[in-house]
Chains A and B, each alone.
Chain A
Amino acid sequence: MKLRNMSSLREKKRYIAFKLHSDSQVNYNDMRNAVWSSVLGFLGDDDTARANVQIIKNTWNQKQQTGLIKCSHLYVDKIKMSLALIHQVGDSKVIFQTTRVSGTIKGTSTQSK
């Protein structure tokens, strides 16, 4: 059974599209670990819970090194800043560049063209 709240009770969400520039290819697991450690380090346990952060696995493009992170609309800037603080994933030097913020997954892909 799927639980569904009234639309007014649902939390407003945003999808942050990002591109990862790195000196070597980064895989999903390394990227996920780096994102979680940075978000938890910067926001702490409390705000991370409130931010409702989710890394959406099936939107990760290994070839182009792009992906989506879902979070609460109130925490977009803090999540973007915690992504900017990531400078290393595994042994690779990286830059997380946020390319677009949208309320829908479709919006992130259509607008960023």
Chain B
Amino acid sequence: MQFYDLHVHTENLEETIKMAKLLGMTGIGLITNWIDHEELEGFKRQVEPFKKEIDIAVGVEIKDKAQNVVRIAKQIRKDVELILVHGGDLEVNRAAVETAEVDVLVHPEAKDPSQELRQDSGLDQVMVKLAKKNGVLIEFSLNDVIYSYKKTRSSILKSLLQNAKLVKKYKAPFVITSGSWSPWNMRAASDLLSFGKYLGFQDPEIKKSFSGSKLFENKKRLSGKWVMPGVEVV
């Protein structure tokens, strides 16, 4: 089974690659927070030597206001293989699923401490339908569950289950990731598969989400041979 973890942050590249190989991953999406082009180029240079060991895709996570998310996503689309948008705010979630340049909407259920009383899961049926239309993957991250306890954990699980229910009903694309920020937060495919089953997804659809099809599509588009869907220079 092919297993790509599309959301891995790291400060120690060597350890992360070692752990990914130990856990039997085919490839990983190494993500850096968006600051500017210079930072991104620096991160790409750091990653380059490790590309021989494992399939690595460089991605960017955008954490900004709704209007900036769209602008930045369009600006950097041709520079990176993965564009992730850090959701949580309802306007950001909506902007992300409306933008076809965005690949993954991460943490749609996240809430600011100021919004503690918010009971919603961050997505509604309109947003899920838009995500399906624009091919934006909805992320379910295990890391949020691992590092929360008791009431907070149950609240996060409630939101994840609600989002999973919507994603299943409208057949929207989704991805299950470890969402790790250290090598010790990464998890093996079998464990993330159990997480997916807990959320109510079926085996084949979870395995499809691990296959990294979005990544291959983006790599093909960045190769220069891609013209439009169905048209390629051979």
Contact = CB atoms under 8 A, between A and B. Distances in A.
Interface string A70-98: 00000011101101110100000111111
Nearest to B149: A41
Q: Chain B interface residue count: which class?
A: 20 to 34
Contact of A80 (B19, B145, B150, B190): B190
B35 interface: no
B189 to A, nearest CB: 9
A13 interface: no
Contacts of B147: 87
A95 B191 CA distance: 10
Contacts of A96: 191
A77 B23 CA distance: 18
A98 B188 contact: yes
Contacts of B186: 95
A32 interface: no
Contacts, number: 52
Interface string B54-88: 00000000000000000000000000000000000
Given A93-B184, A97-B23, A98-B188, 14 more contacts: A21-B22, A21-B23, A78-B194, A78-B198, A81-B191, A81-B194, A81-B195, A81-B198, A84-B194, A84-B195, A85-B145, A94-B184, A95-B19, A97-B188
28 contacts: A21-B19, A21-B23, A23-B184, A41-B149, A41-B150, A76-B194, A77-B197, A77-B198, A78-B194, A78-B198, A81-B191, A81-B195, A81-B198, A84-B146, A84-B187, A84-B191, A84-B192, A84-B194, A84-B195, A85-B145, A85-B146, A87-B146, A87-B147, A97-B23, A97-B188, A97-B190, A98-B188, A98-B191
